[in-house]
Amino acid sequence: DQQVKQNSPSLSVQEGRISILNCDYTNSMFDYFLWYKKYPAEGPTFLISISSIKDKNEDGRFTVFLNKSAKHLSLHIVPSQPGDSAVYFCAASGDTDKLIFGTGTRLQVFP
């Protein structure tokens, strides 16, 4: 069963606009959520995280929102830049510390 889901395989956004990437999870025991960015032939790079005691965390152009009642989180990138084009993975962990990843969303930012 897929405990972390990213239902949009791809997203295309114009440079300067907002990119919104979504993630849903099913396991209510998850208490820490992370977003990673991945370029081809490289390992995932950590972007931003949020613990379950918060509903928002911001770092520069990146903001993550957590809605625990809906078991939903989202990553907002404002303004989007061409260098943001990559695959974005949502991940979650609970008491066992291992990360459970979604299947990823490919973001393309065009001029």
Binding site for other proteins (CB under 8 A): 4, 32, 34, 36, 41-46, 49, 51, 89, 91, 96-104
Q: Please, what is the minimum distance in Å from the beta carbon of residue 69 to other proteins?
A: 21
Measured from the CB atom, the residue of 14 and 39 that comes closer to other proteins is 39
The smaller minimum CB distance to other proteins, of residues 42 and 111, is found at 42
Whole-number Å distance between alpha carbons of 87 and 93: 20
Q: CB nearer to other proteins: give 6 or 80.
A: 6
Locate 60 and state its tokens: 């520069």
Q: How far is the CB of 19 from other proteins (least distance, A)?
A: 19
Nearer to other proteins, 10 or 14 (CB): 10
44: which residues sit within 8 A by CB, 6+ positions away?
36, 37, 38, 89
Least Å distance between CB 111 and other proteins?
28
Contact between 35 and 48 (Cβ < 8 Å)? yes
Distance in Å, CB of 98 to other proteins, minimum: 4
